[in-house]
Amino acid sequence: MKMIFDLFPVILFFVSYHQADAIINHFPVGDIIDLSQSQVIVATILATSIAIIASFIQVSLYWLKNRRFEKMHIISLVLISVMGGITIAFGNPAFIQWKPTLLNWIFAGAFLGSQYVGEKSLVQRMMGGQICLPELIWKRLNLSWVIFFIFSGLANLYVAFYYATDLDEKTRMDNWVNFKLFGLMGLTFVFVIAQGIYLSRYMKDESPDPEENS
C-alpha cells in the first residue's frame, strides 16, 4: 500500500498522459492548455500538471496522517514542480524527462554521503533494526544502492533520449512514459529481490528446533 502511495504522482502521470484525449473531451482544459500544440506536447503538459497537483496532495496527506514530512516526497515535489513547471512553460518534454534521473542521482549522492558522514549509512539506518550485519556488508549494501540509483538514472536518460531514435515523437514519448512507471519499478523489484537473496546468507533462523520440544 505504501508503494502505491509513493508512486501516486507517477501513476497519475501515466494514466493522464495515455488518457489525455478523454480528459480534454470531458473537462475544460482548453482554457489552460494551448490545444493547437502537438498531441505529445498537450498530453505531456496535461500529465505533468496533474502529477504536480498529485505531489502536493501526497505531501499534504502524509503530513496530516503523520504530522511530519517524508524527505523522498519533498525532494520529488520540488523536482517535479521545477522541472515540470519548465516543461509547462516552454512546452518541452525534455525537462520532465530529466526528473527521474535527477531524483535517482540525488538519492545516490545521499546514500554515498551517508557512508562518510555519521556513524551509520542510510541503508543501516533503515534496515539495522531488522537484521544484524558485519560493518563491511553494510558498506557493500549501501554502495549497491548507490550504483543502482546511478544506473536507474542512466537508464531513464537512455530511454528518454537515445532509445529508438528512428521512431516518431509520439511513440518515443509513449515508450518513455511506460518505462517511467513499469521499467523503473521493474528494475527496483529485480534489485530488491537480488539484494534479498544476497542477504539471506546472513539471516539466522530463529525458529525453535522441533527436537527441543520432543
Please report, in tens digits, the pLDDT of each residue of the chain (214 residues total).
777 889 999 999 999 999 999 999 998 887 788 888 999 999 999 999 999 999 999 999 999 999 999 999 999 999 999 999 999 999 999 999 999 999 999 999 999 999 998 888 999 988 877 788 888 899 999 999 999 999 999 999 999 999 999 999 999 999 999 999 999 999 999 999 999 898 888 775 444 444 544 4
Predicted TM-score (pTM) of this structure: 0.88
Q: Are 33 and 45 in contact (CB under 8 A)?
A: yes
Residues 50 and 120 in one domain: no
pLDDT at 97: 97
Residue 2's domain spans which residues?
1-92
Residue found by looking up cell 539471516 in the block: 203
Residues 74 and 41 in one domain: yes
Q: Are 141 and 112 in contact (CB under 8 A)?
A: no
Residues 35 and 130 in one domain: no
User: Could you give the angle at the alpha carbon of 29 between the alpha carbons of 25 and 33, nearest 5°?
Assistant: 120
Last residue of a domain, one of 45, 75, 92: 92
Residues 115 and 42 in one domain: no
Neighbours of 31 (CB within 10 A): 7
pLDDT at 204: 58
Cell numbers for 213, please give them: 520440544
Last residue of a domain, one of 74, 92, 110: 92
Taking the C-alpha atoms of residue 109 and residue 160, their distance in angstroms, rounded to an integer, is: 22
Residues 138 and 107 in one domain: yes
Number of residues that make up the chain: 214
Task: Assign 17 to helix, strand or coil.
Answer: helix
Taking the C-alpha atoms of residue 95 and residue 52, their distance in angstroms, rounded to an integer, is: 14
Q: Are 97 and 103 in contact (CB under 8 A)?
A: no
- The domain tally of the chain equals 2
Cell numbers for 66, please give them: 503523520
Task: Assign 36 to helix, strand or coil.
Answer: coil
Taking the C-alpha atoms of residue 105 and residue 169, their distance in angstroms, rounded to an integer, is: 26
Residues 104 and 83 in one domain: no
Cell numbers for 82, please give them: 521545477
Tell me, yes or no, whether 47 lies in a domain.
Answer: yes
Tell me, yes or no, whether 214 lies in a domain.
Answer: no
Question: Which are the contacts of 12, defined by CB distance < 8 A and separation ≥ 6?
Answer: 47, 50, 51, 54
Tell me, yes or no, whether 210 lies in a domain.
Answer: no
Last residue of a domain, one of 46, 75, 92: 92
pLDDT at 208: 47
Residues 126 and 190 in one domain: yes
Residues 196 and 101 in one domain: yes
Residue found by looking up cell 470531458 in the block: 26
Q: Per-residue DSSP letters for 53-79?
A: HHHHHHHHHHHHHHSS--HHHHHHHHH
Phi, psi (deg, nearest 5) at residue 30 = -65, -20
Residues 71 and 137 in one domain: no
Tell me, yes or no, whether 42 lies in a domain.
Answer: yes
